[in-house]
Amino acid sequence: MTDIQKLSELVSRLEAVTRTLESGSVSAPSQVGSSSVQSECESVHPRLQGYDNWIAENVEKFIQISSKIGGDVVEISELLIQAIAAQRLYIQMGTKCSAPGQSDLPKLLQTQTNALQAIGEFRNANRRSKVFNHLSAISESIPALGWVCVSPAPVPYIKEMIDSAVFYTNRILKEYKDKDQTHVDWTKSLVSCLNALMAYVKEHHTTGMSWNPKGPKASLEKLKEKPSKSPKPARTGGAGAPPPPPCPPPADLEAPKPKSTGQDSAGALFSQINNLGAEGITGHLKKVPRGADGKRLKPQNDVPKSKAAKNTTPVKKQEVVEAPVFACEGGKKWFVEHQKDNHNLSIDANMTQTVYIFKCENCTVQVHGKCNSITADMCKKINIVFDNAVAQLEVINGQSIKCQVMGNVPTVSVEKTDGFHMYLSKESLNAQFITAKSSEMNLSVPNEQDEFTEFPLPEQFKTVWRNGNFVTVPNDGH
């Protein structure tokens, strides 16, 4: 049994998993695949076998738990299957071929890149989803599949990607800890799946993607090889699921949103993977435009090749202008989105309402009354003035954010933000501040004369071993 035939076998197994996922009924992992001849598995390269074991023992379990949650979690899981399938084909090629040249590498990784970008795009298109934290946890952590591009230390890179999702996994645990164990198990399964991937890479690709030095040069032709037959499904100790490749972290590339329509959609998906090879996996996705420095660019309008070739100066990215949003949906959540140069945004809120501010620039948002919570996501140069917040003020992925609380707020959370300044009231001096991956943070505290004194929050810390424990304190640079 050839490795390519084994690929077809794994496609069949994941097809079964996806069918049960879409139908809402999940079978035990041992039921996903049936028996096969032991000698067939012995021909599989150890690196490929290890990846198959990871799929069977970790990915399948994660997909099954995702099916119990349903909805958007199922749809993003389907995209995840495509990404993992893409990576498997790439690893399979690595067992047969020698390393490609640097000029060929982006082309070989294109399928993986597109698959990962589809995940990021799906998350961004569903920001109002009830399971947005789940989508974000996957979107933030799944760039770990880009380890195939990292050398000489892919394992620390995977760990970094896992850590980047902690913010969202903690939110899921906090929300469902005493409500629904399925969501808690889902979070644990995701982290376990990524840790298992890290263990696989550490064992088989310690210093980077492993290649066969005696094989022919890796090429698109080798990557496009497809199985000639579809052998019977097998389960050997832990072989597990799809074919082909992912790679670099996701970005803002438009890709069609998959829709689950039952068993037929799963069959069509894997039939395409099985019959068309690498291109068939994500051929419907747009290619990743790259600049001269190799970095991804956002999609631009199509430019005739003749004109593009003559243009010697860098082409400025064309920004997509989104329609501004200022509305309260269902009487429970205020959405303030894509506002620009608007300083007259005023909200009268109550304790049952939350305020979500997304991708606003050079704006002022005033929240009167007592709201439940306020979140500012991917905003730049905005001011937030509010009376009271029952739960918290949260700032994520921001730049130059200024906030002022007139009454009380118990918690302020700041993550991945450069430039945060908050003016506190006397009532809010007992608030707790949780910060991560942020810089230039300052708090202004009022005195008896209502004059503000500014205090910087530490950005760096030092840790020392003291009395049998590690002790971490702010690093003042002295």
Q: What confidence score (pLDDT) does residue 222 get?
A: 63
pLDDT-wise least confident of 78-82, 185-189, 219-223, 278-282: 278-282
What DSSP string describes 415-469? ES-EEEEEEPPGGGTT-EEEEES-EEEEEEEE-TTS-EEEEEPP--EEEEEETTE
Q: Is the pLDDT of residue 441 over 90?
A: yes
Are both 250 and 144 inside the same structural domain? yes
Q: Which residue has the higher pLDDT, 83 or 475?
A: 83
Q: What confidence score (pLDDT) does residue 77 get?
A: 87
Task: Identify the domain boundary among 250, 282, 314.
Answer: 282
Structural domains in the chain (count): 2
Cβ neighbours, 10 Å, residue 154: 22
Nearest-5° Cα angle at 362, 359 to 368: 85
Q: Domain containing 333 — which CATH number?
A: 2.160.20.70
The C-alpha atoms of residue 104 and residue 108 are separated, in whole angstroms, by: 6
Which position has the token pair 């990871």? 54
Instruction: Compute φ and ψ for 4, nearest 5 degrees.
Output: -65, -35
Q: Which residue has the higher pLDDT, 382 or 263?
A: 382
State the burial class of residue 455 (Cβ atoms within 10 Å of its Cβ: 0-12, 13-18, 19+): exposed
Q: Is the pLDDT of residue 96 over 90?
A: no
Give the pLDDT confidence of 173-201 residue by residue, as tens digits: 988 888 889 999 999 999 999 999 999 99
The C-alpha atoms of residue 115 and residue 189 are separated, in whole angstroms, by: 21
Instruction: Compute φ and ψ for 343, nearest 5 degrees.
Output: -110, 20
Q: Is the pLDDT of residue 64 over 70?
A: yes
Q: Is the pLDDT of residue 79 over 80?
A: yes
% of the chain exceeding 90 in pLDDT: 29
Q: Does residue 303 fall inside a structural domain?
A: no
Q: What confidence score (pLDDT) does residue 315 get?
A: 52
Nearest-5° Cα angle at 293, 303 to 304: 10
Q: Is the pLDDT of residue 251 over 50?
A: no
* 229: confidence class by pLDDT, cuts 50, 70, 90: very low
* 2: confidence class by pLDDT, cuts 50, 70, 90: very low
Please tell me whether residue 303 adopts helix, strand or coil conformation: coil
The C-alpha atoms of residue 63 and residue 65 are separated, in whole angstroms, by: 5
Q: Does residue 308 fall inside a structural domain?
A: no
Q: What confidence score (pLDDT) does residue 474 get?
A: 85
Q: Is the pLDDT of residue 1 over 50?
A: no
The C-alpha atoms of residue 473 and residue 478 are separated, in whole angstroms, by: 13
Q: Which residue has the higher pLDDT, 426 or 234?
A: 426
Q: Is the pLDDT of residue 26 over 70?
A: no
Q: Is the pLDDT of residue 231 over 70?
A: no
Q: Contacts by 30-36 with C-beta closer than 8 Å and gap 24+?
A: 30/235, 32/56, 32/60, 32/233, 32/235, 33/233, 33/234, 33/235, 33/239, 34/232, 34/233, 34/234, 34/235, 35/234, 35/235, 36/9, 36/231, 36/232, 36/233, 36/234, 36/235, 36/236
Are both 189 and 91 inside the same structural domain? yes
Mean model confidence pLDDT for the chain: 75
Provide the token pair at 193. Answer: 């799946």
The C-alpha atoms of residue 25 and residue 337 are separated, in whole angstroms, by: 38
Which position has the token pair 């009395």? 467
Q: Does residue 87 fall inside a structural domain?
A: yes
Q: Which residues form the domain of 383?
A: 325-474
Q: Does residue 306 fall inside a structural domain?
A: no
% of the chain exceeding 70 in pLDDT: 69
The C-alpha atoms of residue 417 and residue 212 are separated, in whole angstroms, by: 43
* 282: confidence class by pLDDT, cuts 50, 70, 90: very low
Q: Domain containing 124 — which CATH number?
A: 1.25.40.330
Q: Is the pLDDT of residue 223 over 70?
A: no
Report which DSSP code applies to 382. Answer: E
Q: What confidence score (pLDDT) does residue 225 get?
A: 57
Q: Does residue 311 fall inside a structural domain?
A: no
Are both 120 and 185 inside the same structural domain? yes
